[in-house]
Amino acid sequence: MRCGGIWKVRIVRLWMDDPEVGRVCLPSSPLRLTDAPALKPSPFLNQHKEEVLGGIFGFSTAARAALRKAGAIRSAAQVKG
């Protein structure tokens, strides 16, 4: 995406380094909040899968392995491929 035109004039753009695609230009808010947290790239596909299944849903390691073996959960490479 190019960062030109009105984005360049209004300074409502944000450059972010994405691990998969490199440096990208994103639209940003013209408002500048002093205590706002820094922005970061969105998570990768399945990046937090183990935390969610194990921590939030409480699946044990054995239960997650059984789900993986049954094909209910897959790795990011399997989903993309």
Q: Tell me the pLDDT tens digit for each residue of 19-56.
A: 778 888 887 777 777 787 777 777 877 888 889 999 99
Residue 42 falls within a domain, yes or no?
no
2 occurs within a structural domain: yes
Q: How far apart are CA 22 and CA 45, in angstroms?
A: 17
pTM (2 d.p.) = 0.50
Whether residue 62 lies inside any domain: the answer is yes
Domain of residue 11: give its range. 1-30
Q: Is residue 72 part of a domain?
A: yes
Residue 29: both structure tokens together? 């808010």
Check residue 6 and give its pLDDT.
56
pLDDT at 10: 58
On whether residue 4 sits in a domain, the answer given is yes
Number of structural domains the chain divides into? 2
**Domain for residue 21, yes or no?**
yes
What is the Cβ-side half-sphere exposure of residue 25, based on CA atoms within 13 angstroms?
10
| Strand, helix or coil for residue 60 | coil
Reported as a single tens digit per residue, the pLDDT across 47-74 is 888 899 999 999 999 999 999 899 888 8
23 part of a folded domain: yes
Query: Is 6 a member of any domain?
Result: yes
4 or 52, greater pLDDT: 52
